[in-house]
Structure 1
Amino acid sequence: MIFDFQYVAASLKVAVKYIPTTLMLSVLPLFIGIVFGTWIAICRRFRIRIIAKLADILIPVTKGIPLVLHLFIMNFLILKPLDFLSQWYGWADALRFMDKTYIGIVAISIYAVVVISETMRSALISVDDGQYEAGYSVGLTRWQTLRRVVLPQAFPFAVPVLCNNFIGLIKGSSIVYLITVVDVMNGALTSAQINYRFLEAYIAAAMIYWMMCLTVERVSIILEKHLKKYQYRVQENNLRREVL
């Protein structure tokens, strides 16, 4: 069968419609991962009781499980109780038409929290201990020092890795087609199931993922430049506080 660019264009036309779904499956887990991952990283950095010990155990275990298994496990963990409730209360129709996109978001978010918590912990460790002492010396509490001094300096260190995490989430979100969620990958394969042009469909999906990841990479470069300028300003202000 001869390769046909017309089928690539046809698959692109269909797959582009599902870019918002792919972005939702990656942007929301990124946001959730940054919020909860940073909180977990702070707890591990300051060795907060119980939380730090639990994180030390659960994070390595969760990192050792492939993302596709996260998806399948969450699929069954969510669907099994709903299946029981649907039989009890007669929700069969509601369960049948349930949007499994939210299951994908939950599964990818758990993975994102674990990965990003490691990223933020490394960024927090990269900040010199003298910055904490400088904050304490001017009367700031631990939380105020963390919020005003440490996090503004740690975040620029984390941005390049966070952008790589985001790219990984975009690519990793393609596995949701396994639970019948229609995203860019599944959208591209829709036309292939009719004309059996699977190679053209895969190439069309690859082109879209490549463009999305390239866009994130370009934005990250611009963001890094602005954050470095902001980081220098924060360091200058800290030096002035120490002198005063």
Structure 2
Amino acid sequence: MSESLNYKFLWDTFFVALSGVPVTLFVTVVALLIALPAGFLLALTRINKIPILNRLAQVYVSFVRGTPVIIQIFIVYSSVPLLLDSFFKANSINMKIYEVNPIWYAFIVFSFNTTAILIEVFRSALGTVPKGQLEAAHSVGLTNFQAYRRIIIPQALVVAMPNICTATVNLIKATSLGYAMSLQEITLKAKVAANAGYNYVEAYIDIFIVYLILCSLVEFAFKRYEQRLARYKPASA
């Protein structure tokens, strides 16, 4: 390793790391599109204490909370393909499971992990909305769907949005573990660029800067959206 920073490499590799941002954002957006509705629906099963589903949701949340994301990645990316390959061979199914693009595994792992987090976010947020709001909506002829869409969800979002923002930022940072699946995201691209000259310090500085910029922009976007939701605060008081 060089005694001083290679500033030319630092500058060049910053743009290499930056080129991994689209993949990082793509995985983040897809994972959120899956996790937001799934987390909300499973939160409702916990609030309404639906038999079996409520218990399954509890076990699911406990499992995700109790295991590191990297272990979940190894389970999905290593164990699942091995089991599927054995199943396909046993049933003479011509499926090349090891040629599947790693981004599909990233969708599975990160949506699986984020859903568990959002279950608790939505459960606590929905719990802040008085039950009388739903009863009042029914009394004026609104269906459950209409009541939730027009009254319950906007008020719950006021409470949930800071935690959703935190979950999103944590998701973006967690995608850095995608290198374990050979996912061409920010971290892997910078580390590959560093391999030739062993410029790992510079590469990690670039990774740090790119994630700092990206997460700061996401936080700013959420703050702006929180301001738009502020009109629902009196209704949730």
- TM-score, length-normalised on structure 2? 0.90
Q: CA deviation at 1:3?
A: 1.1
Q: Say if 1:41 and 1:121, in contact at 8 Å, map to a contact too.
A: yes
Which residue of 2 is the match for residue 241 of structure 1?
none
Show the counterpart of 2:227: 225
AA at the equivalent of 1:155: L
Q: Which amino acid in 1 is paired with 2:188?
A: N
Q: Deviations over 1:87-111 (max 9, x none)?
A: 84565xx445431121121011100
Partner of 2:49: 47
Q: What's 1:121 paired with? A: 123
1:158 alignment partner in structure 2:
160
Q: How many residues align?
A: 232
- Pairing partner for 1:81 from 55, 75, 83: 83
Tell me the alpha carbon deviations over residues 26-68 of structure 1, each in whole angstroms, 9 at most, x when there is no partner: 1211121101000001111122232112212322222211111
SS of the residue 1:195 aligns to: coil
CA distance in 1 between counterparts of 2:48 and 2:113 reads 23
**Is the 8 Å Cα contact of residues 64 and 113 (structure 2) preserved in structure 1?**
yes
Instruction: Identify if the C-alpha distance between structure 1 residues 143 and 13 changes in structure 2 by more than 3 Å, giving closer, same or farther.
Output: closer
CA separation of 1:98/1:53 partners in 2, compared to 1, >3 Å: closer, same or farther? Answer: closer
> CA 1:141/1:48 → structure 2, altered by over 3 Å: closer, same or farther?
farther
Paired residues for 1:93-108 under 5 Å:
94-108=96-110
1:195-243 deviation line (CA, Å, top 9, x unaligned): 11000000001111110000011111110001112x159x3xx9xxxxx
Within the alignment, does 1:145 sit opposite 2:142 as a pair?
no
Return the alpha-carbon distance in structure 1 between the equivalents of residues 166 and 233 of structure 2: 24
d(CA) in 2 for partners of 1:33, 1:179: 21
Please identify, of 27-36 and 139-148, the stretch whose mean Cα deviation from structure 2 is larger: 139-148
Measure, in 2, the Cα distance between the counterparts of 1:86 and 1:72.
22
Identity %: 28
Contiguous gaps of at least 5 residues in structure 2: none
Q: Which residue of 2 aligns with 1:198?
A: 200
Give the residue type in structure 1 aligned to 2:115. Answer: V
1:3 aligns to 2:1 (yes or no): no
Q: Hey, what's the Cα distance between the residues in 2 that align with 1:65 and 1:232?
A: 36
CA offsets 1:100-123 (integer angstroms, 9 cap, x no match): 121121011100110011111111
Shift of 1:158: 1.1
Alignment gaps of 5+ in structure 1: 239-244
Structure 1 length-normalised TM:
0.88
